[in-house]
Amino acid sequence: KAGVTQTPRYLIKTRGQQVTLSCSPISGHRSVSWYQQTPGQGLQFLFEYFSETQRNKGNFPGRFSGRQFSNSRSEMNVSTLELGDSALYLCASSWRGSQRSYEQYFGPGTRLTVT
Amino acid sequence: DQQVKQNSPSLSVQEGRISILNCDYTNSMFDYFLWYKKYPAEGPTFLISISSIKDKNEDGRFTVFLNKSAKHLSLHIVPSQPGDSAVYFCAASARSNDYKLSFGAGTTVTVRA
């Protein structure tokens, strides 16, 4: 079974630009969550999508948005990039049929650098 | 507000010895706990989990202990192997919060040969 894939793996953008990151979940998984990882901060939850609907949202500004398509693939968009948005962005998928399904499966991440 | 805390940013242990990673949480509503392992340039990988109705769960060399009264859990790795060198994240979720995962900041484990 193919794992979670994220594209692109690396990205360099300048302040003020916008960026779109893509995530393809494991086949059969309907939930996709996005996290931001920065040094010393662990994984900060951005949002979760389930069946094309945003189900949960973390404490990030409105510049961070996402969506999910009917095939469960998800995209995350960050507008008006700031230097502090430089981070590893991780996508995770899960089945979400029972509590054990919250054993999320992560992709390799997209390393975003804002200059 | 960091609801899950891993107070030791790093741990160094000799190969063959026990590694003990600690995690504290503040939200008494958390009812499911997980440990993830992360190598550089890869996403975190699920390692082991425990429900709040249990106080111990074992899977091979990995054992997680939960002390609900102390709001504390720990991960024991016995024996430690060089391939265990990685960053370990503790995570917790609550049914009341729609099972959203809250992660700790991670502990970097280095296993010395």
The pLDDT value recorded for residue A56 is 86
Residue A100, pLDDT > 80, answer no
Per-residue pLDDT, averaged over A65-87, amounts to 96
Tokens of A54: 């945003």
Gyration radius of chain B's alpha carbons: 13
The pLDDT value recorded for residue B41 is 80
**Which stretch of A60-69, A91-100, B2-11, B16-25 has the lowest confidence by average pLDDT?**
A91-100
**Which stretch of A67-76, A94-103, A104-113, B24-33 has the lowest confidence by average pLDDT?**
A94-103
Residue A99, pLDDT > 60, answer no
Cβ contacts from A onto B, under 8 A: 58
What band does B68 get if pLDDT is binned at 50, 70 and 90? very high
- Amino acid identity, residue B92? A
Phi, psi of A84 (to 5 degrees): -70, -5
Residues of chain A contacting residue B100, judged by C-beta atoms under 8 Å apart: 45, 48, 56, 58
**CA distance to partner chain B, nearest, from residue A102 (Å):** 7
What band does A1 get if pLDDT is binned at 50, 70 and 90? low
Per-residue pLDDT, averaged over B84-103, amounts to 90
- Contact of A67 with chain B, judged by CB distance below 8 Å, is answered with no
Cβ burial of A39 (10 Å; 0-12, 13-18, 19+) is: exposed
Comparing alpha-carbon positions, the chain B residue that sits nearest to A5 is: B43
Domains of chain B: 4-112 (2.60.40.10)
**Which stretch of A92-106, B5-19, B66-80 has the lowest confidence by average pLDDT?**
A92-106
A67 contacts A75 by C-beta, under 8 angstroms: yes
Rounded Cα distance, A101 and A25, in Å: 14
Query: Nearest 10 degrees: CA dihedral of B74, B80, B84, B85?
Result: 90
What band does A33 get if pLDDT is binned at 50, 70 and 90? very high
What value does the mean pLDDT of chain B take? 94
**Total Cβ atoms within 10 A of residue B33:** 24
Rounded Cα distance, A76 and B47, in Å: 26
Residues 27 to 86 of B: which have CB under 8 A from any A CB? 32, 34, 36, 41-46, 49, 51
- Contact of A108 with chain B, judged by CB distance below 8 Å, is answered with yes
Residues of chain A contacting residue B41, judged by C-beta atoms under 8 Å apart: 108
DSSP state letter for B83: G
Gyration radius of chain A's alpha carbons: 13
- In the block, which residue shows the tokens 């109705």? B53
- Name beta bridge partners: B11: B109
**CA distance to partner chain B, nearest, from residue A24 (Å):** 14
What band does A103 get if pLDDT is binned at 50, 70 and 90? confident
Determine whether the interchain pair B99/A45 forms a contact, defined as Cβ–Cβ distance below 8 Å.
no
The pLDDT value recorded for residue B101 is 87
What band does B40 get if pLDDT is binned at 50, 70 and 90? confident
Determine whether the interchain pair B89/A43 forms a contact, defined as Cβ–Cβ distance below 8 Å.
yes
Task: Give the whole-number percent of chain B exceeding pLDDT 90.
Answer: 85
Residues of chain A contacting residue B39, judged by C-beta atoms under 8 Å apart: none
The residue that leads in pLDDT, B37 or A104, is B37
Residue A101, pLDDT > 80, answer no
